[in-house]
Structure 1
Amino acid sequence: MLDPHELYQLADDLPELGQPVLIQALTGFVDAGNATRLAREHLLSTLEGRPVATFDIDQLLDYRSRRPTMLFVEDHWERYEEPKLQLHLLRDDDETPFLLLTGPEPDLQWERFTEAVIALVERLGVRLTAGFNAIPMAVPHTRPTGITAHATRRDLIGGYEPWLQRVQVPGSAGHLLEYRLGERGRDALGFAVHVPHYVAQTEYPAAAELLLTSVSRATGLLLPTEALREAAEAVRTDIDRQVAQTDEAVALVQALEEQYDAFARGRGENNLLINPSGPLPTADELGAELERFLAEQGKPGDPPTR
């Protein structure tokens, strides 16, 4: 392995951080409802901060798989949207410093990247690392948004009940980081918010709000959520209006509600990733029908078509 310390440049004028929390919110993995992006952008736009470490993106990104955009104006190239993978120093609403890792998930050199982040964790005295994820689930938007919590120690996520018993899924750099931190005896946790899969391709701020609320509860940080809460209420109103336009869409949401409620009553015996038994349509069938309907109506916020 190439030297992980040569993968980043760290600012030499860092203030006293104490034992900060590090939040990783990389893009490129599953991000249903754009929840991770919304949460990350909300923190960067509302809190005071600056980048304190920058990674050598040329070592990590496959440009041909995720081509950065460029702006062409008449007869010349005017702007290049340079991809950046950075560690930001921010301060929460109580002026407590914390770190936020942003940028594209590395395509290459996962182990080296993970070692580089762990080196920063050790050097900066990070006490806890927290990760964001958002996954599509066969759940209705009319029920409380669910979340899956995971951690290197069970007591870090006390009060959270597991939604899944055992499942094999594609890995991510963020999940590998949590796993490697656990091997080193360091505290790390993550939250995967459950987004109704018929709105997974649109912005779903309720999921971003829950991510920030969950991290605040687990870490003691005071992260702002008011703007996300207001946006979530507006999106909920738009979805309700679109669904109410046809009896078919209403029936589909009601079926998802019945499935959700049955799962909540018998938790541990079923899970929402498995097709339900009985007369109800499968979760995939319900979601596909409702997703098609909402797509025909336009994204939340757009005027409904008739």
Structure 2
Amino acid sequence: MVFPFGRSFDRLYFSGYSLPNMIHAKREHEASEQRMRGHTMTHEALQYDKTIELTGASLVMGLSGWMNGGEVSTGVVEYLFRALEAEPFARIVPDDFYLYSFPGTMEFAALFRPHCKIEDGLICEFDEPENRFWAAVKPGLILFSGKEPNLLWNRYAESLLEVGRRHGVRRIVFVGGVAGLIPHTREPRVLCSVSERRLRNELEPHGMQFSRYAGPASFVTYLTLQAQRAGVEMISLVAEIPAYVQGYNPRCVEAAVRHVGALLGLQLPLGDLRNMSEEFEKRLDVLIAEQPELLEKIKLLEADYDDQVFDNEMGDLKLWLQRQGIRVD
């Protein structure tokens, strides 16, 4: 049996039912149950492990998924909770927010399935999406690391904002990473978007570029709109990752951490992260020296970077990267 599907959910059909209709029916059923129970589902999605005494906090968040290039989004939050010795205190229960079963090829469907491990016939691991909050009380900071939701963005966003309301959060900072046409030999560029125009004045002295983008939206864009309506400031910082460098990128993580620290007035120990970045760059230089064609492309990127060219399409380079199996969006 063939399950035809297109690029977006509105063109995906399974057993005669469109996926949007299936999701709509699911939401209607949940809303009906909510009315019968007489309490909000948002509070059900939140699970507190302990009570913390923290008001007037800022919230720094990272998400795996759409904007986690170079593992910057999750990497920054992981660095912060270790450096600040933050303690976990709450989570968003993953039920209902994720697609586990998706029609299509096995390779495609596997992208949505939780990872498991079975040894000697016994299940020893079953990894559901983690959506955790940590508190660093002394600097007045809440950290959140999770997986971008597939479904019910409104409930997921409301869960985040509810934690913010309980602890007087005035500002949310999202940190992410996207692949771009930028050389690894230069300081990573950081693109930003904001919930309010007045925040631009605060960010301009930090040397960031304001985003210009049109295309499929991320959950972070949706959350920014919801934060604005709730009267909470939100700033999105997205580091550009060299498209030809795959995996964890400590240099871009370091750059993002420095920007977050400057915005929130945090004194952060960066020595270990700097050492990791330098070692990473040395290994990368050795590998690239063995690929003269790539080295020539990087020189073009360096010239554009030094001339402060930010919107060069560089179609030839994009095509070359695509032939290497690397996509630049």
TM range (shorter): 0.7 to 0.9
- Note closer, same or farther for the CA distance 1:59–1:247 as it changes in structure 2 (3 Å cut): closer
Give the SS at the match of 2:135: strand
Q: C-alpha displacement at 1:218, in angstroms?
A: 0.8
Matches within 5 A, 1:157-236: 157-160=203-206, 163=209, 166-199=212-245, 201-236=246-281
Select which of 32, 50, 56 maps to 2:69. Answer: 32
> What is the CA–CA distance in structure 2 between the aligned matches of 1:205 and 1:221, rounded to whole Å?
19
Give the SS at the match of 1:117: helix
Q: C-alpha displacement at 1:72, in angstroms?
A: 1.1
Give the share of equivalent positions with the same residue, in percent: 23
**Partner in structure 2 of residue 83 of structure 1:** 129
- State the TM-score, normalizing by the size of structure 2: 0.76
Select which of 23, 37, 43 maps to 1:5. Answer: 43
Give the SS at the match of 2:100: coil
- Note closer, same or farther for the CA distance 1:165–1:59 as it changes in structure 2 (3 Å cut): closer
> What is the CA–CA distance in structure 1 between the aligned matches of 2:291 and 2:261, rounded to whole Å?
39
Q: C-alpha displacement at 1:288, in angstroms?
A: 4.6
Matches within 5 A, 1:84-103: 84-90=130-136, 95-103=138-146
- Note closer, same or farther for the CA distance 1:193–1:8 as it changes in structure 2 (3 Å cut): same
Give the SS at the match of 2:55: coil
**Partner in structure 2 of residue 296 of structure 1:** none
> What is the CA–CA distance in structure 2 between the aligned matches of 1:9 and 1:192, rounded to whole Å?
29
One-letter code aligned to 1:225:
L
> What is the CA–CA distance in structure 2 between the aligned matches of 1:40 and 1:150, rounded to whole Å?
19
One-letter code aligned to 1:36:
S
Give the SS at the match of 2:95: helix
> What is the CA–CA distance in structure 2 between the aligned matches of 1:127 and 1:164, rounded to whole Å?
22
- Per-residue CA deviations over 1:202-248 (Å, capped at 9, x if unaligned) read 22111111111111111112344322211111111111111222433
Select which of 267, 272, 283 maps to 2:317. Answer: 283
- Per-residue CA deviations over 1:61-116 (Å, capped at 9, x if unaligned) read 2223522222211222122224321211135xxx3131111121111110122122
1:129 aligns with 2:172: yes
**More relative contact order, 1 or 2 (CA 8 Å, 6+ apart):** 1
Q: Which runs of 5+ in 1 are unaligned?
A: 276-280, 294-306
Q: C-alpha displacement at 1:130, in angstroms?
A: 0.2
> What is the CA–CA distance in structure 1 between the aligned matches of 2:46 and 2:65, rounded to whole Å?
20
- Note closer, same or farther for the CA distance 1:29–1:121 as it changes in structure 2 (3 Å cut): same
**Partner in structure 2 of residue 271 of structure 1:** 311
Q: Is the 8 A contact 2:191 2:211 kept in 1?
A: no
Q: Is the 8 A contact 1:11 1:52 kept in 2?
A: yes
Question: Which piece of structure 1 moves more, 108-117 or 5-14?
Answer: 5-14
**Partner in structure 1 of residue 283 of structure 2:** 238
Q: C-alpha displacement at 1:177, in angstroms?
A: 1.4
Q: C-alpha displacement at 1:12, in angstroms?
A: 5.2
Q: Is the 8 A contact 1:43 1:224 kept in 2?
A: no
- Note closer, same or farther for the CA distance 1:6–1:75 as it changes in structure 2 (3 Å cut): closer
Select which of 287, 296, 299 maps to 1:254. Answer: 299
Q: Is the 8 A contact 1:24 1:132 kept in 2?
A: yes
Select which of 147, 167, 190 maps to 1:147. Answer: 190
Q: Which runs of 5+ in 2 are unaligned?
A: 1-30, 35-39, 102-110
One-letter code aligned to 1:24:
M
- Note closer, same or farther for the CA distance 1:6–1:49 as it changes in structure 2 (3 Å cut): same
Q: Is the 8 A contact 1:140 1:196 kept in 2?
A: yes
Q: Is the 8 A contact 1:10 1:53 kept in 2?
A: yes
Q: C-alpha displacement at 1:147, in angstroms?
A: 0.6
- State the TM-score, normalizing by the size of structure 1: 0.81
> What is the CA–CA distance in structure 2 between the aligned matches of 1:12 and 1:44, rounded to whole Å?
17
- Per-residue CA deviations over 1:135-177 (Å, capped at 9, x if unaligned) read 1111111112111122123234232566467421322222221
Give the SS at the match of 2:176: strand
Which runs of structure 1 show a deviation greater than 6 angstroms over 4 or more consecutive aligned residues?
A: none
